[in-house]
Amino acid sequence: MTGSPRAGLSDVILASVFFSALYMLGFEVLTPFEAELFAYIVWVASFLYGYFALLLGFDYVRVKSSPTLSFIAAVLALYEIIVIFTGVSGVLRLLAVAFSPFVGLVSLGALREWFSSIKSQREIAKVGFGYRVKSAFYQLDRTMWFFFITGFIYLVAFMLIPILIVLLYSFTPPTGGEWWANFYTVLRTPGYVNLKPLYAEPFKKITLPSGECIVVLRGVNYGPVLNSIIIAAIVTATTTILGTFVAFILARYRFPGHTLLRVLAIIPLFNTPFINAYVIKLLWGEYGPISTLLRAITGCSLRIEGLAGVAVTQILSFYPIVYLNAYTSFINVDPSMEEQAENLGAKGFKLFRSVTLPLALPGIVAGSILVFVFSLEDLGAPIVFNERELMSYRIFSGLTTVYGQVSPEIAALGIVMLVFALIAFLAIRNYVSMRSYAMISRGGRWNPRIRRLGRLGVVLVYLLVFPLVVFTALPQIGVILMSLRVLKPYIGVSGLEIGISEDPLYSFRRILSDPDIYKYVTNTVIYAGVAVVIAAFLATCIAYSVSRIKVKSITSVLDSLAVAPLAIPGLVFALGYYILFSGLGRILPVQIGARISPASPAFEAWLVFILAYSVRRLPYVVRSVFAGFQQIHENLEEAALNLGATRLKMVFGVILPLIMGYILSGSLIGFIYMVTEVSTSVTFGGIRQEQAPLTFFMKQYYTGFAGLGPEVVAAIGSILIALQLIVVIVIVYVFKQRYAFIGI
Amino acid sequence: MTRVTLKDVSKYYGSIVAVDHVSFTVEKGELFTLLGPSGCGKTTTLRIIAGFETPDTGRVYFDDDDVTFLKPYKRNTAMVFQNYALWPHMTVFDNVAYGLRVRKRELKLSENEIKKRVMWALELVKLKGLEHRYPLQLSGGQQQRVALARALVVQPRILLLDEPLSNLDAKLRIEMREELKRLQKSLGITTIYVTHDQVEAMSLSDRVAIMNKGKIIQVGTPRDLYFNPKNLFVADFLGRSSIYRGEVLVQEGNGAIVKLEDTDITVRGVTPEKTLPNKVAVVIRPEVMKIGSSEDSKDTVVKGTLEFAMFVGDKVEGRVKIGNLKLLVYLPNTQEVRIGDEVTLTIPWRNTIILPLELE
C-alpha cells in the first residue's frame, strides 16, 4: 500500500459539520429569500463533496462491503429523498444537508463503479453479435420461451400497465393548471403536507368532572403524506427493534417455557382484518386492561385515538414479520463464526454487535422493509380508527365516494405513495442482495448456538419478554374471546365486560346459517382459489425462467417484475384497475364495456379480485418456488437433457416432482394472503356488493349492523386464525420449510 | 464411434475468460483427458461439448456435423456428473431407464426391451440386484456406478466424464479407475474425461490435454507429456520435480550443458527447443536420480549431505544439499538413512530437461 493520505470517514464527518455550519450561517446573515437559495446551493455542494472525497481516494468499496455502513447509507439516502419530495425545512433539512456528503459519496461511488463495470465488460466482449443472439435463443427453447413470455405478459398486462395508467392519469392537470399541478398539490399544499400543525401536542390530558383523568394519545397531524411516512418510519423502527430482540432471545437461549413463548410469538402474525384493530381499540381505550393497570399506578387512564391508534395497531400486527425473519436469520448464522469470535475473546453484547447482528442483518431488514410497505398501504387500522389524515385513507375515499370518477389528484397521491414504497424497497433489496452471504436459508444443517439462561436471565425473560409477547398476542386472543362471546364488543356500565356466554358458539352458527355470509365466504374461496392456481402456474414459469436462463439482462427484468408487487401498495393496484377498467369500458363495445366499467351497475368485480389477488400475492409463491429451484442442483436437469429428454419432458418428469412441496407451500401462503387481502377487496367490494369478498363484509359489519355484530366478524376472524395456524403447521411440519420472508 | 473436433472455442463470463481459443480433436474410440488445475476451463469445455453452454467463438463438430448450436438433447452424448446428479425421487432402475424411456418412440423400444437393456447396463457396472433401491440408499461408489450405467445404457456417441471419481475415497477410486478403463476399451466409446488428478489422467488416458487459464498448453500421450514437457508449466504440473535456474554454456542439437545458478555445478540435459535462451530452467525429477556413480560419462555425478528425510511408506523422500543446491530425491524404503549421511548421486542426462524460463 502506498503511504499517500486517503480521505477517510472522519473527513466526511468533518465535511458534514462544515456544510451544516455553512447552512446555519446562511440563515443568520442573509435575507430569508437569499438564505433559502443559499441553503439549496450548500445542499448540492455537500452532495457533490462526495465525489470530491472519491477523487481524494476515499475507499468506496469499504462502505460497500461493510454491512453497517452500507445499511446506514441506504437509510440516509431514503431520508434524503423524503426530505426532497416533501419539502420540509428547518432542522429536518439541516440533517439532510449534514447527511448528504456521505450519501453523495456512496451514491456517486456506486454510479462510478457501475459505469466502470460496463466499460470493462465492453472491453472484454469480443463476442460476435451473431454468437450472442444465437446463445440467447439457444437457451430459449420452445418450453423456456413459453414460460418466460407467459410470466412476462401477465405481469406487464396486469401490473405494469395499470400502474403506468395511474402515472399518466396523475399528470392530468385541473383546468388551467400546469402539467405537474397535481403533484404540487399533493406535495406542497397544507391539505397534504402541513408543517405547522394546529395542535402540536401528541397527547392531551383531560380531567373529567368526576375527578377522573384520561390521557388521550392522538399524535400530531402533519398532513396525510407526512403522517403516513412518519407512522411507517415509527412502525418500522419499533417492530424491527422489538422483533429482533424477541427473536434473539428465542433463537439463542433456552429456558422453561421457551416453546410456549415461540408459539405465542407468531400469534400476532395471524391476520384478521378490521376486527383485530377493533379489539385493539377496545383494549387500549380508557376501560381496557391497559388503562386499568395505568390507573392503578398513575391515577390516569389512557385512550389512543387517530394516528397513535393506527401506529399501535400496526406495530402489534406487523412485528411478527420482523420477528420471523430475525429468528430465521439468527438460526442461519453459521455457529462457527460465533464460536470463532468467542474463541478470540468476544462475548455478550460485543459478540452480538460485532458478529451475530451484522450477519443476520440482511434477513432482518428484509422483514423491516416489508413492514414499511405494509404500514404505508394499510387500510384496516385507519378505517377502524377513522383516521382520514393518511395517504391510504385518502386514496380509499377518493376511490369510493365519487362513483365512476377518480380525481387525478388521488392518482398523484397514489403515485407518491408508490414512489416512497418503491424507493425504500429497492434500496433495501439492493442492500440485501449484496449481502446474500448470510442468507443461506437451509436451516437445521447445523446446530445453532444455544445457551441456557442464568437465573437472573430467566427472571428478566419472565418479567420482560413474556409479558411483551403475551401483550402483542392480545388482539388475536381478544378476537377469539369475542367470537366465543366471552369478551363483549361494547363498553358496559362498568367498562369492558368479560363473562362466559350461555351460547358461546352462536356467532359460528350464525356464519353457517346466514345465506349472506355464506355468499361472501364462497366468493372469497372461489376468487382466492382461482387466483392461487394462476399464481402457482405463473410462479413456476417465472421462477424457472429466472433461475435457468443465463442471459442476465433478461432474467433480472422478469425477477424485478415478479417481486415488485411486494413494494406496490394495494391501493395503487386498486387505482390502476379502476382507471384501466373505466377506460376499457369506454373503448369497448357496450355489451362488454358495461360489464367491465366499474361505474356501471353490471360491473363484473370478480375479474378485478382474481387479477389483483393473483398479481399482488404472486411474490410469496414465486419466492417459495424459487427457493425450490435453488435447492435442486442444475446437474439434475442437465442429466435429463443430456439423455435426450426435451425440456418439457424434463420439467414434468424430473423438476415438478422435486419442487412440488415448494409450489404447494408457496400456494398455501399465497392463498392465506389472498383471503385476507384488504385494499382491492374493500374498494371494489363497495362498488359491487353482491360480488364482494369476505374482507369487505368484515369492514362493513365490524362495528355492528342489523344484528351481525362484531361478534360475527370476530368469529370469521377466529376461523381465519385457525386457517392460518393450519397453514403454518403444514408448511413447517409437512413441507419442512421455514415460514419467513427472507428473500425479497 | 464419433470423432470430436473443437475449433477455436472460447467462452467468456462477463470479464472472465473461461475458455480461450481452444482447438483439439478427439479420435474415434479414444479416451481423451482434459487435465488442469481447478478453474482452468476444463469443465466449461466439457459442458460446451455436451451443449449445456454455447461457445462465444468457434465451432464444435461431431464427425463432420457442426453441433455448436445443437440442443443438448439432440446430441446423443452421455455425461457422468461430478455429483452424479441421480434423481432422488426415482429408483435405480428408473434412473437408468430414463434415457431410454424419453426416446422410446424414436428408438422404437418396448418396455421389455428397455428392461433388458437396463439390466445389461446394471450388470456391466456390477449393480444387479439393487435396481429397486433409491439413490439415497446407496453408497457413494454405488451411486457412481448408477450414474455410469445411466450414461452407458443409451449407447451414446460420446461419453463425457466430469471428475467422476473425485467424490470417492482413495481405495475405491483406484478400483473404479481400472473398471472405467476396462469398460471404455471394451465398449469402444469415444470418451472425454475431465480431471484435476494427474494420476487419474495418466493412468486412464490415451491422450491428455493440459489446460491452464482457459488455454490448452500441451496435448500428448501421458508418457510423452511426462518425459517431454513442452514448457515449464507442464514440467512443474506433472509429477514432482526440482527446478533450478541456470545459464546455457553449450547447446548441441537437442542437448545442452547448463551451469546452475549460484553453484559450480554443470549438468547436461535434453531440450525440446531448437535454440535456448541464455537463462533457462533445469527440471530434475526425483525418481530419475540414482544413488551412486554412473557408467555414462555424460551423466552428472554429485556428492552431498542428506539434509532432510521423510518416510512416506513406499519410499523415503529426502533432500540432498550440494553446496547451494538442494536436490529432492527418492530413496528406497528398505534403506536406513540418517540426516547428515554423505550421499553420492547421479543425475542422468537423458532425464534432465532444459526449458526456457517462461511458464507458457
Over residues A687-719, the pLDDT tens digits come to 888 898 999 988 888 876 545 578 888 889 999
Point out the residue among A120, A128, A638 whose CB comes nearest to the CB of B52: A638
Residue A337 burial (CB < 10 Å; 0-12/13-18/19+)?
Answer: middle
Out of B12-16, B172-176, B345-349, least confident range: B12-16
Are the Cβ atoms of A653 and B81 closer than 8 angstroms?
no
Q: Are A270 and A720 within 8 A, CB to CB?
A: yes
Cell numbers 437509510 correspond to A75
Point out the residue among A128, A647, A654 whose CB comes nearest to the CB of B87: A654
pLDDT of residue A123 exceeding 70: no
Please provide the average confidence, as pLDDT, over all residues in chain A. Answer: 85
Helices (H) and strands (E) in chain A, counts: 35, 7
Point out the residue among A123, A635, A645 whose CB comes nearest to the CB of B85: A635
Q: Which residues are CB-neighbours of B98 under 8 A, at least 6 positions away? A: A640, A643, A645, A653, B87, B90, B150
pLDDT for A54 equals 85
Q: Give the Cα-Cα-Cα angle B226, B231, B236 (nearest 5 degrees).
A: 60
* A138 chain-B contacts, CB cut-off 8 A: 54, 69, 71
**First CA to last CA distance, chain A:** 39
Point out the residue among B14, B15, B78 whose CB comes nearest to the CB of A642: B78
**pLDDT-derived band of residue B26, with 50, 70 and 90 as boundaries?**
very high
pLDDT mean over A111-135: 76
Put simply, whether B173 touches A (Cβ < 8 Å) is no
Are the Cβ atoms of B72 and A642 closer than 8 angstroms?
yes
Are the Cβ atoms of B76 and A644 closer than 8 angstroms?
yes
* B83 chain-A contacts, CB cut-off 8 A: 633, 635
For A138, the closest chain B residue by CA position comes to B69
* B73 chain-A contacts, CB cut-off 8 A: 641-647
Are the Cβ atoms of B12 and A127 closer than 8 angstroms?
yes
pLDDT for A434 equals 64
Task: Give the three cell numbers for residue A179.
Answer: 402539467
Are the Cβ atoms of A138 and B89 closer than 8 angstroms?
no
pLDDT for B360 equals 57
In three state form, how does the secondary structure of B15-58 look? CEEEEEEEEEEECCCCEEEEECCCCCCHHHHHHHHHCCCCCCEE
Shortest distance between the Cα of A553 and any Cα of chain B, in A, equals: 12
* A657 chain-B contacts, CB cut-off 8 A: 89
**Ranges A709-718, B100-109, B200-209, most confident:** B200-209
pLDDT of residue A540 exceeding 90: yes
Are the Cβ atoms of B56 and A127 closer than 8 angstroms?
yes
* CA B261 to centroid of chain Cα atoms: 32
Q: Which residues are CB-neighbours of B139 under 8 A, at least 6 positions away? A: none
Put simply, whether B17 touches A (Cβ < 8 Å) is yes
Alpha carbon distance A626, A647 (integer Å): 18
Q: How many CA atoms lie within 13 A of A702 on its CB side?
A: 25
pLDDT of residue A1 exceeding 50: no
Q: Are A229 and A317 within 8 A, CB to CB?
A: no
Beta bridge partners of A437: none
Residues 137-166 of B with CB under 8 A from A: 150-151, 154, 160
Cell numbers 443430456 correspond to A642
Put simply, whether B253 touches A (Cβ < 8 Å) is no
CA torsion sign, B127 to B129 to B131 to B137? negative
Q: How many CB pairs under 8 A join A and B?
A: 99
Beta bridge partners of A303: A216
Give B360 or B261, the one with higher predicted confidence.
B261
Are the Cβ atoms of A124 and B12 closer than 8 angstroms?
yes
Give the CA diameter of chain A. Answer: 88
By C-alpha distance, which of B147, B42, B50 is closest to B92?
B147
**pLDDT-derived band of residue A297, with 50, 70 and 90 as boundaries?**
confident
Beta bridge partners of B280: B246, B356
pLDDT for B44 equals 94
Q: What's phi and psi for B216, nearest 5 deg?
A: -85, 125
Cell numbers 472455442 correspond to B9
Point out the residue among B50, B86, B106 whose CB comes nearest to the CB of A642: B50
Q: From its phi and psi, is residue A571 left (phi > 0), alpha (psi between -120 and 50) or beta?
A: alpha
Cell numbers 362498488 correspond to A687
Q: Which of B21, B87, B160 to mutate to probe the A interface, most A CBs <10 Å? A: B87
pLDDT of residue A403 exceeding 80: no
pLDDT for A184 equals 86
Report the 10 Å Cβ neighbour count for A657: 13
pLDDT for B47 equals 94
For B148, the closest chain A residue by CA position comes to A639
pTM (predicted TM-score): 0.82
* B71 chain-A contacts, CB cut-off 8 A: 138, 141, 641
Are the Cβ atoms of B79 and A642 closer than 8 angstroms?
yes
In degrees to the nearest 10, what's the CA dihedral of A529, A531, A535, A537?
70
For A635, the closest chain B residue by CA position comes to B85
> What does the pLDDT look like over A228-279, one tens digit per residue?
999 999 999 999 999 999 998 888 888 888 888 888 888 888 888 898 898 8
Q: Are A537 and A620 within 8 A, CB to CB?
A: no
CA torsion sign, A371 to A377 to A381 to A386? positive
Q: How many CA atoms lie within 13 A of B119 on its CB side?
A: 7
Q: Are A80 and A100 within 8 A, CB to CB?
A: yes
pLDDT mean over A395-414: 82
pLDDT for A61 equals 81
pLDDT mean over A658-671: 90
pLDDT for A445 equals 47
> What does the pLDDT look like over A583-612, one tens digit per residue?
888 888 888 888 888 888 888 889 999 999
Are the Cβ atoms of A125 and B12 closer than 8 angstroms?
yes
> What does the pLDDT look like over A483-534, one tens digit per residue?
888 887 777 666 677 777 777 888 888 888 888 888 888 999 999 999 999 9
For A141, the closest chain B residue by CA position comes to B71
Q: What is the DSSP letter of A156?
A: I
C-alpha to C-alpha distances, A541 to A143, A560, A625, B61, nearest whole angstrom: 10, 15, 10, 33
Give B339 or A450, the one with higher predicted confidence.
B339
Q: Give the Cα-Cα-Cα angle A645, A650, A651 (nearest 5 degrees).
A: 155
Q: Which residues are CB-neighbours of B15 under 8 A, at least 6 positions away? A: A120, A121, A123, A124
Task: Indicate the length of chain B as a whole number.
Answer: 360
Residues 284-323 of B with CB under 8 A from A: none
Shortest distance between the Cα of A655 and any Cα of chain B, in A, equals: 9
pLDDT mean over B70-88: 91
Residues 140-179 of A with CB under 8 A from B: 141
Are the Cβ atoms of A121 and B15 closer than 8 angstroms?
yes
pLDDT for A232 equals 95
Shortest distance between the Cα of A331 and any Cα of chain B, in A, equals: 27
Are the Cβ atoms of A124 and B102 closer than 8 angstroms?
no
* A641 chain-B contacts, CB cut-off 8 A: 51-52, 71-73
In degrees to the nearest 10, what's the CA dihedral of A330, A334, A339, A341?
-80
pLDDT mean over B204-216: 94
Please provide the average confidence, as pLDDT, over all residues in chain B. Answer: 90
pLDDT for A449 equals 67
The β-bridge relationship of strands B290-291 and B300-311 is unpaired
pLDDT for B98 equals 93
Q: Which residues are CB-neighbours of B42 under 8 A, at least 6 positions away? A: B34, B35, B36, B194, B196, B211
pLDDT of residue A430 exceeding 80: no
Put simply, whether A128 touches B (Cβ < 8 Å) is yes
pLDDT for A740 equals 65
> What does the pLDDT look like over A725-739, one tens digit per residue?
888 888 888 887 776
Put simply, whether B103 touches A (Cβ < 8 Å) is yes
By C-alpha distance, which of A286, A697, A283, A707 is closest to A487?
A283
Residue B151 burial (CB < 10 Å; 0-12/13-18/19+)?
Answer: buried
Out of A41-45, A195-199, A252-256, A312-316, least confident range: A195-199
**pLDDT-derived band of residue A631, with 50, 70 and 90 as boundaries?**
confident
Q: Are A677 and A617 within 8 A, CB to CB?
A: yes
pLDDT for B175 equals 87
Alpha carbon distance A709, A715 (integer Å): 10
* A640 chain-B contacts, CB cut-off 8 A: 87, 98, 102
Q: What's phi and psi for B35, nearest 5 deg?
A: -120, 135
Put simply, whether B127 touches A (Cβ < 8 Å) is no
Put simply, whether B135 touches A (Cβ < 8 Å) is no
Task: Give the three cell numbers for residue A141.
Answer: 427453447
Q: Are A402 and A166 within 8 A, CB to CB?
A: no
Put simply, whether B105 touches A (Cβ < 8 Å) is no
| ipTM value > 0.85 | no
Are the Cβ atoms of B102 and A121 closer than 8 angstroms?
no
Q: Are A613 and A527 within 8 A, CB to CB?
A: yes
Put simply, whether A121 touches B (Cβ < 8 Å) is yes
pLDDT of residue A446 exceeding 60: no
Put simply, whether A589 touches B (Cβ < 8 Å) is no
**Ranges A556-560, B131-135, B288-292, most confident:** B131-135
pLDDT for B221 equals 95
Q: What is the DSSP letter of A21?
A: H
